[in-house]
Amino acid sequence: VLSDLQAARYVHGIAVHWYLDGLVPADLSLGTTHRLFPEYYLFGSEACVGSMPWDRGVWLGSWERGEQYSHDIMQDLNHYVTGWTDWNLALDQGGGPNWVKNFVDSSVIVDASRDVFYKQPTFYSIAHFSHTHCPQQVSDCPLSYPGTDQRVPELTGCLSVSLSSGRSEEDLQFEVQDVGVGVIPAVSPAHSIMTLLWPRE
């Protein structure tokens, strides 16, 4: 559509789904799209866990799925995506209702028979970024070498930096270097996400 100049006049942004993110590197998919069409925003318009045959359905309390959301949100934000949304607002304990019987997990699971709902770990992953995200700067430190010191890039105009050690078995020690504030040492506990916020003059 965007290669057609007439059709492109009616497009303001590009919506992307996450379902192959684990197979295709973000720089290849999102990065290439941004380089081809930098004037259009990218928006993560659909994501859910529990849709693959090997992990189908609702897993109450799955922190692994919460880590999966955090990692994906960080990857998207680091590759030009301006927003991210879940596919489902709330589902029942069976992962429905769904007219095509695609029963998956959700950030909120409702048990109508007991008049209660459960906020899943994925809920807290989304909430973290909703409350703390600074659009100008998000950094995802490499996690393939747990236990090593990782540096977050120097910041010049932002009040926050986020990182995820969600897939690391070790605490992650790092420093943020801000030209206006100095060095901020911190430790991100294993299996966590954190955002540092500090005032700038």
The reported pLDDT for the residue numbered 42 is 95
Residue 149 has pLDDT above 80, yes or no: no
Residue 160 has pLDDT above 60, yes or no: no
Q: Which range, 64-78, 92-106, 149-163, 164-178, is most confident?
A: 92-106
Does CATH place domain 135-200 in 2.60.120?
no
Q: Where in the chain is the domain with CATH 2.60.40?
A: 135-200
Q: State the Cα–Cα distance between residues 18 and 26, nearest whole angstrom.
A: 10
Q: Where in the chain is the domain with CATH 3.20.20.80?
A: 1-131
What pTM was computed for the model?
A: 0.80
1-131: what fold? TIM Barrel (3.20.20)
Residue 24 has pLDDT above 80, yes or no: yes
CA distances in angstroms from 15 to 35, 41, 44, 84, 95, listed in the order given? 16, 9, 6, 10, 24
Q: How confident is the model at residue 71 (pLDDT cuts 50, 70, 90)?
A: confident
Count of alpha carbons within 13 Å of 175, Cβ hemisphere only?
7
The reported pLDDT for the residue numbered 39 is 94
